[in-house]
Homo-oligomer: A and B are copies of this chain.
Amino acid sequence: MEALLSERIEDFLSRNGGKKVVAVQGLGFVGAVMSLVCANGLTEDYAVIGVDLPTDEAIAKIEALNNGVFPISSSDPKVQEYFEKSRKKSNFLATHDTHAYAKADVIIIDINLDVDKVSCEENELESYDVSLDGFKKAIQTIGEVCKSDVLILVETTVPPGTCQFVVKPIIEEEFQKRGIEFEGYIGHSYERVMPGPKYIDSIQNFYRVYSGIDERSADRVESFLKTIIRTDEYPLTRLSQTHATEMAKVLENSFRAMNISFIQEWSNYAEEAGVNIYEVIQAIRMRPTHKNIMMPGLGVGGYCLTKDPLLASWSKQTLFESKNPLLNSEKAVQVNDQMPLRAFDIIRDNINGDLPNKEVLVLGVSYLNDVGDTRYTPVELLCRKLLRSETNLSLHDPYLNYWEELERPIETEFEKMLDRDYDMVVVSTAHSVYRSNDKLLDYITSRKNLFVLDCWGVFSAEELTLIKENNNIKVIGRGDI
């Protein structure tokens, strides 16, 4: 089996003779699409090998990729286009054979590095920890076989300090074991991937920050990035050390997480004062210096904002031995994790606590609009609370047919949802399909005593007026209703 696998790689490489080889470690939301971008480089045509672990899930993904099925559904047509182009060129192979690293000129690290959160049932963060074991093992696997002059480019969001204190020593130790000197390059350039309608562009047509563990590594990273990113339009920014780029990534995500947690408190205040917070925020956004003030919503989800502030705080205390955590940033995660409880409270209060056996239409499961991604979605806590209160949930999401975390089917066709009697409709993800949707409005306005909760302000002021004429409706943060 091993021999066969290696043979397959050799075959692939001989078919791509002369091309530089890029290995991408990790075929998740970043690695899979990063592979496509490398396989469709701007100034260079790479032979790309995507490598993942031999787990059941990863093997299914690898087989799908090799059989012409891209494993992530996306609203970005470029994803399918790039995938088909790479199929035609036969320059993209997926495998779990780590032998691939031995052949690579560039190895891009796109694996997960998780935070283990301990939270109570109400999502209150009680403690958290970071284990680098899996990450270290992955780096070791590379060090065991990689070329001496390879470029190892870390894209994973890591605790600041990781490239210098973890990656470099492991690689050097493996080379020492092999009795040869490491003459390669180690760099860090974090991704800013946004799954959604601009999935590919969020890599190829977007700003990048990079660094190297030394000057020559930084130079090598720069010349590689220029072959795959439109750096003429989106100039690269070089920072003077890997600590700095690692910190930039967790800082930018903490900035966002903190701004969301900040507006959550004001959203509650606006409700108390009967003020439409959306209107207020739109007015403030007219100021160029205040354009980025966030809108409130159901909560925060996804892989990054829910953990990156903790990664940073962990690094501060552990890798840099500080006595003080990043309290603001930790607090932001705590507040955001609990945001969905506010929506639950509003629902409960508006039907006088009488939840058992109520029929609830849940519109949207994904953590982000127009994306099929349930990772840490805030809809989860809301739904768990509703289920615990013995409501009956009907789930809709145009991008998902099954919810792994709750082990429940999801309906993707919108019309199919509207032939039943609901007691409540909750807009829990701001998917475009829910905006200006006549069928949804017709359904709502044809009922009496329906309770509607719009957690994201997808209904316009006119639509709200229309709905209010027929129903009892309440919208988070729109206290004038």
Contacts and interface: CB of A to CB of B under 8 A. Distances in A.
Contacts of A161: 273
A153 B293 CA distance: 27
Interface stretch (A102-110, A246-254, A399-407, A462-470): A246-254
A283 B210 CA distance: 10
A414 interface: no
A322 B283 contact: no
A325 to B, nearest CB: 9
Contacts of A247: 266, 269-270, 273, 275, 280
Interface stretch (A32-40, A284-292, A418-426): A284-292
A328 interface: yes
Contact of A243 (B244, B273, B324, B329): B273
Contacts of A327: 265
B251 A280 contact: yes
Contacts of A256: 289-290
Interface in A314-371: 316, 320, 322, 324, 326-329, 331, 335
Contact of A286 (B237, B241, B251, B261): B237
A279 B328 contact: no
B262 A258 contact: yes
A374 to B, nearest CB: 23
Number of copies: 2
Given A207-B287, A258-B262, A273 B160 contact: yes
A316 B275 CA distance: 12
Contacts of A331: 328
A244 B287 contact: no
A273 B248 CA distance: 13
A259 interface: yes
A274 interface: yes
A383 interface: no
A58 interface: no
Nearest to A258: B262
CB-CB nearest 4 A-B residue pairs: A207-B286, A237-B283, A209-B283, A248-B280
Given A192-B287, A252-B284, A261-B328, 9 more contacts: A160-B275, A207-B286, A241-B274, A243-B274, A244-B276, A248-B283, A269-B312, A273-B316, A291-B291
Interface of A: 160-161, 192, 207, 209, 235, 237, 239-241, 243-245, 247-248, 251-252, 254-256, 258-259, 261-262, 265-266, 268-270, 272-276, 279-284, 286-287, 289-293, 312, 316, 320, 322, 324, 326-329, 331, 335, 480
